[in-house]
Amino acid sequence: MNFYNENLSRQEALSILDLPDEDLPELLDAVYAVRKKYKGDMVSIHLLTSARSGNCSQNCAYCAQSHDSKADIDKYKLVSHDKLLRDGHVIRDKGLARHCIGLSGIQFSDLEINEFAGEIRKLKKEVQTPICCSIGFLTPEQARKLKEAGVGRINHNLNTSRNFYPKICTTHTYQERIANIKMLQGIGFEICCGGIIGLGEDKPDVVDMFFEIRAIGPQAVPVNFLLPIEGTALSNADTSHLTPEYCLKTLCLARLLNPKSDIRCAAGREVYLKGREKWMFHAVDSIFASGYLTAGGQSIDDTIKIITDAGFRYRVESA
């Protein structure tokens, strides 16, 4: 099969997920050629700060911060400036690519946005690292305020397919997510938009989600693999199909459908891909270090080591 063509059909995309495991090396070789063409041998490392945690009004089934979650997590409004700055300094000192700042919740008052924009301004004064925020649905005015404060990119994931979405969340719609992303693009933000594999979706849902993401044209595509969290609706989700081979195929598909975007292997890589990082980097040019919003992860030094051990370099991205 010719794995890479600019007009990959849904059927061809599905056949990538259905590929026999013994054909995976051939797929990885083809995907590596695409990755090398657009991204060379660089891997960017991102650090995530959970700037507001818990107490969300929404019911996303996978999320420890949701209204329905009984997960035992820290809950707080806005994290202290010291914590944001400490993380900013770690990013600068270690030469990491980007500071990702996640806030729980779907809607924010103007007062809250003003306060947060003030924190971003102070942070940008001291550390010039590019900033990406994950921050629910914004009004255009709120989005402009954050842009003026120095946020260059916003993360807003689609998470799964349009058809499957009502199975994982009923408090807002897929279309609202897309509308928010379009509004942000109109204001000039770069977009980070990805999803979660392992929510109970079928393979055609994975394909549909990646086609929706491709239509958005995001600068970055984070691919998460579900980490079932005790106390959430998906705490007992069956993740037995998330074999290293299947995870690698989904990452390959993300790259083939978004050849120029950053493809980020996000939550779950430490659990599902352990020992296969070398192969992961055939598709992926971006990863997180030091964990995720409500789950731990690999340290920065160990993350750097897996990149260099695999024969890749890690990159400092300038502001």
Which residues are near ligand SF4 by CB under 6 A?
56, 58, 60, 63, 65-66, 104, 106
Of 73 and 127, the one with the shorter C-beta distance to ligand SF4 is: 73
Least distance to ligand SF4 from the beta carbon of 93, Å?
29
Of 14 and 106, the one with the shorter C-beta distance to ligand SF4 is: 106
Burial of 215 (0-12, 13-18, 19+ CB in 10 A): exposed
Q: Rounded CA gap, 305 and 279, in Å? A: 15
What are 170-178's contacts with CB under 8 Å, separation 24+? 170/59, 171/57, 171/58, 171/59, 171/67, 171/106, 172/58, 172/106, 172/137, 176/137, 178/212, 178/216
Of 168 and 284, the one with the shorter C-beta distance to ligand SF4 is: 168
Of 96 and 209, the one with the shorter C-beta distance to ligand SF4 is: 209
Least distance to ligand SF4 from the beta carbon of 20, Å?
35
The three-state secondary structure class of 175 is: helix
Of 55 and 299, the one with the shorter C-beta distance to ligand SF4 is: 55
- The label of the residue with tokens 């070789």 reads 29
Q: Rounded CA gap, 76 and 231, in Å? A: 18
Q: Rounded CA gap, 243 and 62, in Å? A: 19
Of 96 and 133, the one with the shorter C-beta distance to ligand SF4 is: 133
Cβ partners under 8 Å of residue 232, min gap 6: 61, 62, 63, 64, 66, 68, 69, 70, 71
Residue 268, both tokens? 């779950």
Of 65 and 129, the one with the shorter C-beta distance to ligand SF4 is: 65
Cβ partners under 8 Å of residue 19, min gap 6: 27, 249
DSSP lists the bridge partners of residue 102 as 50, 134
Of 58 and 286, the one with the shorter C-beta distance to ligand SF4 is: 58
Q: Rounded CA gap, 264 and 287, in Å? A: 5
Cβ partners under 8 Å of residue 122, min gap 6: 81, 85
Of 8 and 220, the one with the shorter C-beta distance to ligand SF4 is: 220
Least distance to ligand SF4 from the beta carbon of 171, Å?
8
**SS3 readout for 258-292:** CCCCEEEECCCHHHHCCCCHHHHCCCCCEEEECCC
Secondary structure letter of residue 50 according to DSSP: E
